[in-house]
């Protein structure tokens, strides 16, 4: 048995696999984008192939999977309602994903055939049923097709493993049917059989979609790999423990009560309550009293005490985390304190600038001389905690599929503390008395200039205050 297939997988898998092999695209060749075929052994010699990744396109039918509404209105009402307001249920219909896909990814694939499979492959994670049904590009969300189910109940609970050694680029193994996999062995219901799956509770289960390589072989999403390299993995803390917390209750209306029912909330970067408090800030001066004209150095310690992966993670090309420091004197006058430069390679991408970037959007927009939009949309001189993505021409991009290289990784690692400084020369006319200095860390899911340019709803560029701290010095004469 393949090491990534749970022992509870049905014996009838070989029959299923034979049908898959006959119907799938591309033969048995391993996909260049994570679609390596997974070998499943039954007995001493029986062997068949499951198509995964790009090769899974068109190997299934929508009718192979139950709808979320069926699951939610029959037995799993509370879990269904949790899922409905989670991003898993909106992975295809969410406004930014729709705009990015139809305004940028699809036109890019039409203009450059080398990216056609990439555009199709977006659906492998955002609406896997549509991808496996060969319904790509899917109808737009307003058509209300089954693509709108996004990442659904029956999809996740019929995944039995992944292909190869590393989960990425939707190389999950899908085995829809009567058997549903969960965290415990229980009684079969009139609707389905229930099998315990150790794999479903692993971080690798999440990694099949939360790791991604671009066509250039660059890791453009690596949340699972970041976790794997960090302290939480060594301590046995998994993705589920933070994003699917458990509580006493029922997983099915007619089932048993359990003390550890996983909540299907999937709260992450789109949940302000999850983001707030991620990083702690503390600011302190090198002196407590100063005169006009003196230089005072403020040190800010920023500690990532919350995430098991880097922060920000996931769609790093879209997201921006930055620190803004300001001083307010006794008369209420406000002074912006730019961050002191450290001098490391690539630092220019980690300090707020008004320069233009994202020129490769012009490919999809059919604007050959597109000048780009403002790179950051934040105060010039603020410190940014990011990892820039670059297109084949070396320009900063938000299009992960067009990423050929990565810049300096200046994000927060799990339990990492970064020290930043701001050196402030007190103006000669500064008011005497207390000078309050405040450091604030902000987060946006999408840089605002891009959101404004593409017409993304304002909520996607909402500024979330992660944390803040203030200190006071005395200005004397």
pLDDT tens, 399-423? 999 999 999 999 999 999 999 999 9
**Does residue 277 register a pLDDT over 50?**
yes
Give the number of C-alpha atoms closer than 13 A to the C-alpha of residue 430, restricted to the C-beta side.
26
pLDDT tens, 117-135? 999 999 999 999 999 999 9
| Cα 85 to Cα 50: distance, rounded to the nearest angstrom | 32
**Architecture per CATH, 272-475:** Sandwich (2.60)
Q: Where are the domains of the chain?
A: 13-262, 272-475
Give the number of C-alpha atoms closer than 13 A to the C-alpha of residue 449, restricted to the C-beta side.
18
pLDDT tens, 177-214? 999 999 998 778 889 999 999 999 999 999 999 999 99
Task: Catalogue the E-assigned strands of 289-428.
Answer: 289-290, 295-304, 320-328, 334-336, 356-357, 373-374, 383-385, 389-390, 405-406, 417-425
Residue 472 CA from chain centroid, whole number? 38
Q: What is the pTM (predicted TM-score) of this model?
A: 0.90
Please name every residue paired with 471 in a beta bridge, in sequence order, or none if there are none. Answer: 437
| Cα 314 to Cα 220: distance, rounded to the nearest angstrom | 8
Looking at every residue in the chain, the average pLDDT score rounds to 90
| Secondary element (H or E) of residue 120 | helix 116-121
More confident residue, 188 or 234: 234
pLDDT at 418: 98
**Does residue 261 register a pLDDT over 50?**
yes
pLDDT at 12: 33
pLDDT tens, 335-354? 999 999 999 999 999 999 99
**Does residue 172 register a pLDDT over 90?**
yes
Mean pLDDT over residues 269-287, rounded? Answer: 97
């Amino acid at each position: 048995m393949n090491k990534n297939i749970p022992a509870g997988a049905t014996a009838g898998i070989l029959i299923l696999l034979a049908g898959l092999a006959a119907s799938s695209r591309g033969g048995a060749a391993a996909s260049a984008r994570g679609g390596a075929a997974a070998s499943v052994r039954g007995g001493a010699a029986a062997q068949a192939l499951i198509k995964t990744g790009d090769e899974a396109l068109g190997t299934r039918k929508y009718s192979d999977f139950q709808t979320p509404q069926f699951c939610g209105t029959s037995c799993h009402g509370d879990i269904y309602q949790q899922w409905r307001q989670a991003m898993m249920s909106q992975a295809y219909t969410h406004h930014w994903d729709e705009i990015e896909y139809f305004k940028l990814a699809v036109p890019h694939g039409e203009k450059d055939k080398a990216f056609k499979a990439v555009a199709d492959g977006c659906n492998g994670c955002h609406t896997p049923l549509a991808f496996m049904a060969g319904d790509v590009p899917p109808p737009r969300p307003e058509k209300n097709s089954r693509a709108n189910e996004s990442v659904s109940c029956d999809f996740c609970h019929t995944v039995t493993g992944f292909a190869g050694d590393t989960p990425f680029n939707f190389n999950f193994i899908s085995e829809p049917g009567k058997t549903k996999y969960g965290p415990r062995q229980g009684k079969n219901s009139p609707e389905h059989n229930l099998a315990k799956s150790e794999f479903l509770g692993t971080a690798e289960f999440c990694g099949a979609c939360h790791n991604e390589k671009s066509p250039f072989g660059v890791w453009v999403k690596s949340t699972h790999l970041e976790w794997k390299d960090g302290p939480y993995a060594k301590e046995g803390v998994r993705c589920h423990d933070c994003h699917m917390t458990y509580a006493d209750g029922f997983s099915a209306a007619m089932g048993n009560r359990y003390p550890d029912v996983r909540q299907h909330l999937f709260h992450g970067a789109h949940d302000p309550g999850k983001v707030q408090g991620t990083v702690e800030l503390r600011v302190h001066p090198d002196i407590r009293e100063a005169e006009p004209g003196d230089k005072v150095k403020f040190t800010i310690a920023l500690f990532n005490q919350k995430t098991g992966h880097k922060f920000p993670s996931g769609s790093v090309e879209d997201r921006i985390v930055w620190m803004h420091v300001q001083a307010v004197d006794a008369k209420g006058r406000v002074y912006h304190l730019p961050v002191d430069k450290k001098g490391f390679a690539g630092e220019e991408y980690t300090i707020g600038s008004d320069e233009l970037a994202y020129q490769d959007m012009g490919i999809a927009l059919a604007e050959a001389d597109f000048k780009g939009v403002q790179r950051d949309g934040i105060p010039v001189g603020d410190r940014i905690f990011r990892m820039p993505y670059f297109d084949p021409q070396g320009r900063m991009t938000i299009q992960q599929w067009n990423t050929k290289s990565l810049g300096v990784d200046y994000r927060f690692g799990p339990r990492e503390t970064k020290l930043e400084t701001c050196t402030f020369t007190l103006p000669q006319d500064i008011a005497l008395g207390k000078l309050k200095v405040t450091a604030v860390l902000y987060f946006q899911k999408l840089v605002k200039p891009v959101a404004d340019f593409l017409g993304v709803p304002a909520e996607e560029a909402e500024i979330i205050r992660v944390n803040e701290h203030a200190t006071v010095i005395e200005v004397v004469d």
